[in-house]
Amino acid sequence: MRVTVTVNGAEYAREVEPRLLLIHFIRDELGLTGSHWGCDTSNCGACIVWLDGKPVKSCTLLAAMADGRALRTVEGLATSGRLDPVQQGFIECHGLQCGFCTPGMLMTARWLLDRNPDPDEAEIREAISGQICRCTGYENIVRSIRWAAEHSTGHPLETE
Amino acid sequence: MQVPSHVEYERATSVEHALSLLGRPEHRVLAGGHSLIPMMKLRLAQPEVLVDINGLTELAFIAKDGGQLRIGALARHADLLDSAVAGECCPIFRDAERVVADPIVRLWGTIGGSLCQADPSEDLSAAFAAARATAVIRGQGGERAVPVREFHLGPYETVVGPGELLTEIRVPVAPGTGSAYEKVSRRVGDWSVAAAGAVLRLDGGKVAQAGIGLTAVGAESFVAAEAEEYLAGRPADEDSFARAGAIAARHCHPAADQRGPEDFKRHLVAELTARALRRAAARAEVR
């Protein structure tokens, strides 16, 4: 079947099997390998992308279900060559070590801050509670998202 | 790498269209997919045709309608969690949705999908059973209403037949009623070790009607019927709630598994039932 999606504002169309999972469509068919294929069981959240404005675990959706819809992936966070504040926050606060969970964490963080620009620690931990990081113990991820909340006005790279 | 077996995909454009596509048992409804797709990846489910109903936004409502709360089958868990109208009249669902899966899964998983999956550890099945809700099922011959307490035939099996679609759940809302849900799980996103939901209608400090739902502990139809009967007409106090919890614990049938031994699960049923009843009663008094 033919699947047509908009990803980060650009339209893509591919002929795929209906059983193809969305994460493999994004990575293998579209070549956008920023989103990671992790646990394959909707536990870890490394594969989180936005589907019509909401984060989803893309290992647990079919590419067919995204037909005609809009996706946003980690490649779409930076605009005009500027990192999103959540990306900058992960740099400033050492929010990653191996980086495997990072794309999913970033997409959830952006979604959280869009809805709640000033989340406290408990709200941040709740938002990322469906995602697994095996490196940081989450402390620095929470700090990174707080950093982004505090630097979300203006342009983060110019604050340095 | 987990790969579903070959499957055809159809996208329903209306309820009638969906019904016309669902005539055979090998044709399965695809809603949020957060139970069905994992089962397909493990080859525990191998449907021939998936009928995607995600476009049927007319089934995504949550609304108070006279003496009932109406929840469309395609409403997402996050919709129910965030619904002010549901939170006001039926706080049991807010309690339960806070602990269903995780925040990301809740954005896409649906209420109807959870009920139809009929997992014996599913939370909303217990909450809807406690609330004596009614499931509305549509077929090509028309619509039928089935009490949620008669909806499940057993694990992973419901009364929804080929050519039928669960479209709505209707929850009775009566004055003087309070409700609550209490769950113990090992970690965020996990199934219950045990959980209890309570819906209490009080009249002059006494229990006019009690609804108690249990999940993950082998309660028939997710209901603690003996504890409900015990409470009817009794004072809404600590002693009654503790005794009802003990009765619920005695009459359920938990199985020992990786989430705990049988005696621990019975202990949880007693304690969580009493806690849910206590909170439900406090909420009923405020209303």
B2 is a domain residue: no
Can you give the pLDDT at residue A160?
A: 36
Residues B183 and B125 in one domain: no
Residues B101 and B17 in one domain: no
Contact B166, B160 (CB under 8 A): yes
Q: Model confidence over A23-54: pLDDT tens digits? A: 999 999 999 999 999 999 999 999 999 999 99
CATH of the domain at B24: 3.30.43.10
B81 is a domain residue: yes
**Residue B162, phi then psi, degrees to nearest 5:** -55, 140
Q: Model confidence over B88-104: pLDDT tens digits? A: 999 999 999 999 999 99
- B82: contact with A, CB 8 A cutoff: no
Do the domains A85-152 and A2-76 match in fold? no
pTM, to two decimals: 0.95
Residues B81 and B163 in one domain: yes
CATH of the domain at B210: 3.30.390.50
If one counts every other C-beta atom within 10 angstroms of the C-beta of residue B237, the result is 13
Can you give the pLDDT at residue A159?
A: 39
Interface contact flag, A42 B38, Cβ < 8 Å:
yes
Task: Please tell me the total count of domains within chain B.
Answer: 3
Residues B168 and B114 in one domain: yes
B131 is a domain residue: yes
CATH of the domain at B105: 3.30.465.10
Residues B159 and B198 in one domain: no
The class (CATH top level) of A85-152 is mainly alpha
Domain extent, residue B278, equals: 177-286
Contacts of A55 in chain B (CB under 8 A): 104, 107
DSSP label at A71? E
Residues B69 and B128 in one domain: yes
CATH code for the structural domain at A2-76 = 3.10.20.30
Interface contact flag, A60 B34, Cβ < 8 Å:
yes
Can you give the pLDDT at residue B118?
A: 97
Residues B47 and B62 in one domain: no
If one counts every other C-beta atom within 10 angstroms of the C-beta of residue B48, the result is 13
Can you give the pLDDT at residue B287?
A: 59
- B102: contact with A, CB 8 A cutoff: yes
Structure tokens at B2: 């987990």
Task: Cite the DSSP H helix spans in chain A.
Answer: 22-24, 85-92, 102-115, 121-127, 139-150
Residues of chain B with confidence (pLDDT) below 70: 287
- B4: contact with A, CB 8 A cutoff: yes
- Where is average pLDDT lowest: A13-27, A128-142, A145-159? A145-159
Contacts of B8 in chain A (CB under 8 A): 18
**Domain end among B129, B147, B172:** B172
B134 is a domain residue: yes
**Residue A76, phi then psi, degrees to nearest 5:** -95, 10
Residues B162 and B184 in one domain: no
**Domain end among B155, B172, B189:** B172
Residue A10 CB partners (closer than 8 Å, separation 6+): none
Q: What is the ipTM of this complex?
A: 0.94
Can you give the pLDDT at residue B285?
A: 83
- The nearest alpha carbon in chain A to B108 belongs to A56
- Ranges of each domain in chain A: 2-76, 85-152
Residue B137 CB partners (closer than 8 Å, separation 6+): B143, B144, B145, B146, B159, B160, B164, B165, B166, B167
B3 is a domain residue: no
Interface contact flag, B103 A45, Cβ < 8 Å:
no
